[in-house]
Amino acid sequence: MTFDTIRYDLAEDIAVITLDRPEVMNALTRALRAEVLQAVQMAAKEARVLVITGAGRAFCSGQDLQDASAQGQLDLEKTLNEEYVPLLKAITDCPIPTIAAVNGTAAGAGANLALAADVVIAAETASFIQAFTRIGLVPDAGGSYWLPRQIGLARAMGAVLFADKITARQAADWGMIYEAVPDLGFAAHWQARAAHLAKGPTAAYRGVKQALRQSFDNDFDSQLALEARLQGLCGQTEDFREGVSAFLQKRSAMFTGR
């Protein structure tokens, strides 16, 4: 399949989606959202890890306001429900690990697109901006959900009300993202992280995602029951048997994802 606004690459079980509108800092259009959704769905079927990154100097600057006006997308509620929600759910519900490799500015919906991934790795010169109040809006694309859970209500409120730039290092220190790494070697770093996950126990990763995400809504007893159920499923996989054999034989496990 060919795309116009993104690049999709698949190699060694790693699918990489590159937002490819560098001339406008990879701003989100209707076409781009549709193509990312298609690519995420493809990756879920044919890869063992998914990476989303941006071309040029930005990760994603958020909604392309010129596109919204040209396409008559001034019904923001409809646009969010029909275009953003399916995309965000495809990322969060993706059965394989997802990484947002944030190479530069991530603003507005672009910042929250990154936060929808399981792991966010950012270059040190990257930044995150909840820019919504600058144009008279509230945070969307999942921002009001992720931010209070990741950095607490006080920091989330300040980040949104003031629309301050949050550096990658600050985001890592706050717990908004997993890590901020030097720009020199950034690509090699996230590629190594993706390669590690691509060679790992895919079913266990799927269980990890489910267990951690559901923990916010479960009480302790419900979470213990979920852990037991997921562990029972993992215990029936070839990867578990290989992991035990490798441990006993004092060698590296060769997981197959089954």
Residue 22: closest CA among 50, 46, 56, 45: 56
On whether the CB atoms of residues 155 and 129 are closer than 8 A, the answer is no
Extract the tokens encoding 141: 């694309």
On whether the CB atoms of residues 97 and 119 are closer than 8 A, the answer is yes
Which helix (H) or strand (E) element contains residue 242? helix 238-248
Domains of the chain: 6-198 (3.90.226.10), 202-248 (1.10.12.10)
Q: For position 70, what pLDDT does the model report? A: 53
Q: For position 73, what pLDDT does the model report? A: 55
What's the predicted TM-score (pTM) here? 0.93
Q: For position 75, what pLDDT does the model report? A: 82
Q: At what angle do helices 220-234 and 202-214 cross, to 10 degrees?
A: 170
Per DSSP bridges, beta strands 14-19 and 58-60 are unpaired
The per-residue pLDDT string of the chain (258 residues; one tens digit each, 9 = 90 and over) reads 789 999 999 999 999 999 999 999 999 999 999 999 999 999 999 999 999 999 999 999 999 988 755 555 568 899 999 999 999 999 999 999 999 999 999 999 999 999 999 999 999 999 999 999 999 999 999 999 999 999 999 999 999 999 999 999 999 999 999 999 999 999 999 999 999 999 999 999 999 999 999 999 999 999 999 999 999 999 999 999 999 999 999 999 999 888
Q: b/e string for 19-52 if b means 16 or more Cβ within 10 A?
A: bbbeeebbbbbbbbbbbbbbbbebbbeebbbbbb
CA 170 from chain centre, in angstroms, equals: 18
CA 43 from chain centre, in angstroms, equals: 13
Q: How far, in Å, are 21, 219, 256 from residue 197 at the CA level? A: 28, 29, 11
Q: For position 174, what pLDDT does the model report? A: 97
Query: Which residues does 26 contact at the CB level (< 8 Å), separation at least 6?
Result: 19, 20, 32, 54, 55, 56, 58, 59, 60, 61, 110
Which helix (H) or strand (E) element contains residue 127? strand 127-129
